[in-house]
Amino acid sequence: MVTTIKRSLRDSAAARWTALFIVSFTMMCGYFLSDVMSPLAGMLESQLGWSRADYGTYTSSYGWFNVFLFMLIFGGIILDKLGIRITGFGATVFMVVGTAIKYWAVASTTLSSDVILGLNAQLFWACIGFAIFAVGVEVAGITVSKIIVKWFKGKELATAMGMQVAMARIGTAIALGFSVPIARATGIIDVSRPLLVALIALCIGLIVFIVYNLLDIKLDKSEATANELNEADEEEDFKLSDIGKILNNKGWWYIAILCVLFYSAVFPFLKYATDLMVNKFGVDQNVAGMIPMLLPFGNILLTPLFGGIYDKKGKGATIMIIGSILLILVHGLFSIPGLNSWITAMILVVVLGIAFSLVPSAMWPSVPKIIPEKRLGTAYSLIFWVQNWGLMGVPLLIGWVLEKYCVTGQTIRDGMTVNTYDYKLPMMIFAGFGVLALIFAFLLKAEDKKKGYGLELPNIQR
């Protein structure tokens, strides 16, 4: 008698890598919008009259709804209760709606004379749009993380997460390198034009995620066929009490705190990196974004590579320690006044890109080793919620520090008088985050040795 072995769709390499590419494309579009305004800080001052403090307020609005309204945590609970398809579709809709509001606000010529809650109305509505978008992109991020675990658990999990991060960084790289050329495309500067491009891309990303849903339905059917005898016994419904179990896990806290510290020294840095190149290294504003663009391009190549090392060799906690050390080195060197060659800037950005490849490639695949899969959506959402405190507060802090302590004079750009800035103090702040991240990376390694989570072990199960 011949026994037929039922296989899950996830056992097909072509199917799981196709699923990964589809959801990664949507996230790539999201990250393009996240950073599309970063190279335009100088233009926002000269064209819209936004100060660095205003720009810091705008950048910090990314966390308004996620942090204060707990939207990100609710998103994680919804993900664990209602599943990937409903949550992912809703998240992509939020991204599109938020981007549309943001584009309308920046493109409007009638809002600038009004004031809402103490903010220029144009700035206020741009912030609201960015905050709505942030709910979508962050919930989409945790959804995609759970999608990858669903398809790649016991297989090339860290490599897959590295590939997803790499595609997201393509979006960041395009934003950093091409936002200024897009704004200048017709010879007339229009800072809203890159937002229109982002809006169109996100509409495409929404359509692409709908296509993924069809593939996810096929996966669930194949899983039901392959596991129909024991699936009900293995899976339990998520309960709200599971949140307490996550929060009582010391290893989870170490990852969450490491995440907020590390990302607070990278993403807010990227928001100001183009302006740093102009003010410290004397790079022309029109091409200054090309140097920060090297960081995400480095991620594109290295994050999947380091993820592959984690999959095959292990050493996840050690990888995070090395990345934190490089972070301290780069920001420490950025703060030294005499190092002002653009070649030095390029080298430091490349090294920062290596650090930014090391830590995420090991950090995100480590969460499923600490938290059961049924709680993963909420676990990731809580980590992202903690992270959003940094993504909200640090840009606001840096903008305030620049405006308060770092103005060195004035110059003329695009026919307008704008301030010049000394970035030594902000870079020292970023280096301080790196020091704290290193401490928690060591604490995580010690906790892994104590509890036996397997962070130093390979992900691929033989």
Selected residue with higher pLDDT from 214 and 53: 214
State residue 47's pLDDT score.
81
Task: Over range 13-33, report the average pLDDT.
Answer: 93
Q: Would you place residue 6 in the very low, low, confident or very high pLDDT band (cuts 50, 70, 90)?
A: low
Structure tokens given for 197 = 């491009």
Biggest CA–CA distance in the chain, Å, is 86
CATH architecture of 13-222+241-451: Up-down Bundle (1.20)
Cβ burial 284-320 (10 Å sphere, 16+ → b, else e): ebebbbbbbbbbbbbbbebbbebbbbbbeebbbbbbb
Average pLDDT, the chain: 88
User: What is the structure's pLDDT at 417?
Assistant: 79
Residues with Cβ within 8 Å of residue 333, at least 6 apart in sequence: 339, 344, 348
Report the range of poorest mean pLDDT among 5-14, 201-210, 373-382, 419-428: 5-14
The Cα angle at residue 163 between residues 146 and 299, in degrees rounded to 5: 125
Q: Is the pTM of this model over 0.85?
A: no
- Distance from C-alpha of 301 to C-alpha of 33, rounded to nearest angstrom: 22
Instruction: Give helix 84-107 / helix 121-152 axis angle, nearest 10°.
Output: 160
Which residues on adjacent β-strands are paired with residue 120? 115
